[in-house]
């Protein structure tokens, strides 16, 4: 008797052109992110990046660094620091056509019910409306983008915030 067929992969989730997302490894919750399928890589605004001195290569490779993040462009006093492992530096061309060498990290993304590891470049986005750009490599396979919609996963996110309050 032949083995049963493999289950079909889950259908991609519909998301809007901007969504709330979490980056738990960095301590960022309910961050507004712009979904940009024209951008290959995802990018996060970093106010400051300081490489930490270490006499030997850290476990997992890469170099340890401390980031200073400002998740809300309207509240520059709210700072978050996180320690990350910079895997390498990659050349990225920004929307204005300017090449830039950016640090690359790997972190966990939570978008609606999906949790996945993504690569993220770090740069100064202080002049931009969105602190986070979610590129096509981060959304491929799990999501499809509806450019006419926004915050489609907001209800899911609100439920999660309420659950976290109840746990306290």
Q: What is d(CA 149, CA 130) in angstroms, rounded to the nearest whole number? A: 17
Q: What phi, psi does 136 have (nearest 5°)?
A: -65, -30
- Residue 120 contacts residue 106 (beta carbons within 8 Å): yes
Give the count of domains, the chain.
1
The domain that holds 62 is classified in CATH as 2.40.70.10
Residue 25 lies in a domain: yes
- Whether 77 is covered by a domain: the verdict is yes
In a domain, 1, yes or no: no
Q: What is the pLDDT along the chain (168 residues), one digit of tens a residue?
A: 777 777 777 789 999 999 999 999 999 999 999 999 999 999 999 999 999 876 454 555 678 999 988 887 788 788 889 999 999 999 998 778 889 999 999 999 999 999 999 999 999 898 888 999 999 999 999 999 999 999 999 876 655 555 555 544
Q: Is residue 51 part of a domain?
A: yes
Domain carrying residue 78 = 20-146
Q: Residue 40 falls within a domain, yes or no? A: yes
């Amino acid at each position: 008797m032949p083995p049963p067929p493999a289950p079909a992969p889950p259908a991609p989730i519909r998301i809007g052109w901007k969504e709330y997302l979490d980056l738990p490894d960095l301590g960022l919750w309910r961050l507004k992110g712009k979904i940009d399928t024209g951008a290959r890589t995802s990018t996060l605004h970093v106010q400051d990046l300081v490489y930490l001195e270490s006499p030997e290569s850290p476990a997992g490779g890469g170099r340890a660094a401390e980031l200073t993040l400002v998740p809300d462009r309207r509240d520059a006093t709210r700072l978050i620091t996180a320690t990350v492992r910079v895997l390498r530096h990659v050349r990225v061309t920004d929307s204005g056509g300017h090449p830039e060498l950016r640090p690359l990290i790997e972190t966990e993304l939570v978008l609606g019910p999906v949790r996945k590891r993504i690569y993220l470049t770090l740069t100064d986005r202080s002049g931009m409306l969105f602190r986070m750009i979610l590129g096509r490599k981060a959304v491929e396979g799990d999501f499809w983008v509806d450019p006419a919609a926004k915050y489609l996963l907001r209800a899911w996110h609100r439920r999660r915030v309420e659950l976290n309050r109840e746990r306290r």
